[in-house]
Amino acid sequence: MDKISDINNKSHSPIQACLTERKDGLLFVSLIFLFTFLAYIPAMRGGFIWDDDAHAISGIVTSTGTLDALRRIWLTTESQQYYPMVYTTFAIERLLWGFDPMGYHIVNVFLHTANSIFVYLVFSYLGFRRAWLIGFIFALHPVHVESVAWISERKNVLSGLFYLLSFMCYLKFEDRYGIKWYAASLLSFVLAILSKTVVSTLPLVIVLACWMRGKRLGLKEVLPLVPYFVLGLIMGIVTIWWETNLVGTKSESWDLDFFDRVVLAGRVIWFYIGKLLLPLNLSFIYPRWQIDASSPLQWIYTLGAAGVCVLLWLVQNRIGRKPFFCFAYFVITLFPALGFFNVYPFKFSFVADHFQYLASIGIIAILTAFFFQIIKRLDAIRKKSAVFKILLAGVFLSFLWILTFKQGFIYKDKITLWEDTLKKNPGAWLAHINLCYELLLKGKIDEAIYHSKKALELNNSEARLHYYMGFTYFKKSNILTSQGMNDEALLYNEKAISHYKEAIHLKPAVYEPIYNDLGVSLLKKGDIEGAVTQFRMALILKPDFKEAKNNLNFAINILIQSSPK
């Protein structure tokens, strides 16, 4: 009678057995390419969303020349994150297909498909039965749509490719296939951490895999991993410094002490497991939880996660080491996103689908083993042929395929994305303010004002929200002026001035446009001297701000003309 420990069977001759002996690998590769690309057709037809513009088609990737772009990508702090491999791919693609988002989307889908194949190869090498199903679920699980359909998340799919390649090569080296495999693994790891730093957990996973395979864990075996640990530590420090000093986590008040973070970690773990088990109501931004370590109920998540680890460790003699390996792999790979380090998205939510891209493989492997174990324990089904079991797996994969296909439509454009987010999470102030901005671009001022007000109702202490509120009121004022409704126009202009000043009060050096826009509103009000002061402040923050410079000259000319001769 098969047990969960059946996934502990000895590996065949690794890749060769997968791809040639049984021909299963070739069939898998063909099917995964076909069904993954079909599942992501809606996503591939989508546009740029949220910060795609800043990452992929503007900024440092659009420098005066390719060499200048590469210099700025690799040798400066101008990028939002130091992931030079990712920005290098964007710079190349910028030359190939410019502002057409489809090319970027196709590359992301291709990388995700390649990752799914490597998931199959790695777990087959590790001796997991039905590794083909683990790879297929990874390919078609809707929780990964965010990582694939969001162009800026190239860092996930690109780092994932190098991570899995490094893992595979190290396993070959570990099995004494030669030093060339170690060199290939180390190079792949370097490329991985230059794509996204969270992959620095790989050496811990390799140690865990070595234990799972029953190999010796002495100094000789661990020593080759020292460069991995050192490189991971260095890039981790770089990322923390980048997030703190350039992205802005230093200026945020997270209000979380150590015990809060321990509680948060437990809740994050179960949230992601829940989304893998039941991938419904997936949202671009999830509600941000209130974490309180003084509440005994909130410790249930952390204690539950710890309990699962202990249980799997204690029963390893009965069910094998692989279940513990899978769960530990999940937690270790997810560790950078568990809340012990501040990352900018925590400002909006403590969880996001793309945070568990690689980590999800561990839970998927466990679920695959249990899926077939349940089938085998049903006497009625046990008498059926293997075709029936494959058919049942096909039904499950079809369900995932449909959900992934449907999820892709959400990424059609920015307005569609933010409207879907608000349907699932009405309290997402970020979605309200970004939707406000998109509606402003389309000239829908009244709708923009509505969403700006909603954003402020949810978060009145965010300077940027007051700035947008002021900007929308100013736009409304201009429309009323053009319609000859001057009294109402002045009222809206006063509201704009009030919100501009509140934004500056909350964050004095917020950014130069706010001072320029406040100056323009003061000009409209007739406060010329006040306008001059604001234009000069804008130029202090950005000396080459042409619009502020022109507005300053215009205001000074008015003062000169109005002064007594």
Alpha helices, H only, 320-413: 322-334, 360-377, 379-382, 386-408
pLDDT digit string, tens, across residues 190-219 = 999 999 999 999 999 999 999 999 988 888
- Per-residue DSSP letter, 130: T
Q: Where are the domains of the chain?
A: 250-279+291-377, 414-562
How confident is the model over 137-153, as a mean pLDDT?
A: 96
**Separate counts of helices (H) and strands (E) for the chain:** 29, 0
Burial class, 485, CB count within 10 angstroms (exposed 0-12 / middle 13-18 / buried 19+): middle
Alpha-carbon distance of 176 to 323, in angstroms, equals 26
pLDDT value, residue 507: 84
Mean pLDDT of 141-159: 96
> What is the reported pLDDT for 23?
63
- In the chain, pLDDT over 90 holds for what percent of residues? 67
Give the tokens for residue 142: 């809707």
Secondary-structure breakdown of the chain: helix, strand, coil percentages, each rounded to the nearest 5: 75, 0, 25
Say if residues 160 and 189 touch (Cβ distance below 8 Å): no
Give 502-517 pLDDT, tens digit per residue.
Answer: 999 988 766 678 999 9
Higher pLDDT, 452 or 3: 452
DSSP state of 297: G
Fold of 414-562: 1.25.40
d(Cα 193, Cα 85) in Å, to the nearest integer?
9
SS3 193: helix
Least confident of 54-68, 322-336, 364-378, 390-404: 54-68
Tokens 């969001």 belong to residue: 150
Q: At 476, which amino acid appears?
A: K
What are the CA-CA distances from residue 415 to residues 49, 207, 337 (Å)?
9, 45, 28
Q: Is the pLDDT of residue 63 over 80?
A: no
pLDDT in tens, 358-368: 999 999 999 88
Residues 6 or more apart from 299 whose CB is under 8 A from it?
263, 266, 293
- For residue 279, what are the contacts with CB-CB under 8 A and spacing of at least 6? 141, 142, 143, 400, 403
pLDDT for 520-558, tens place per residue?
999 999 999 999 999 999 999 889 899 999 999 999 988
Distance of CA 88 to the CA centre of its chain: 18
- Residue 442 DSSP label: T
Range 154-177 average pLDDT: 95
Task: Give the Å distances, CA to CA, from 480 to 111, 119, 166, 467, 527.
Answer: 51, 59, 62, 20, 20
pLDDT at position 98 is 85
Is the Cβ–Cβ distance between 10 and 127 less than 8 Å?
A: yes
**Over the chain, what is the mean pLDDT?**
88
pLDDT digit string, tens, across residues 251-293:
555 678 899 999 999 999 999 999 999 999 999 999 999 999 9
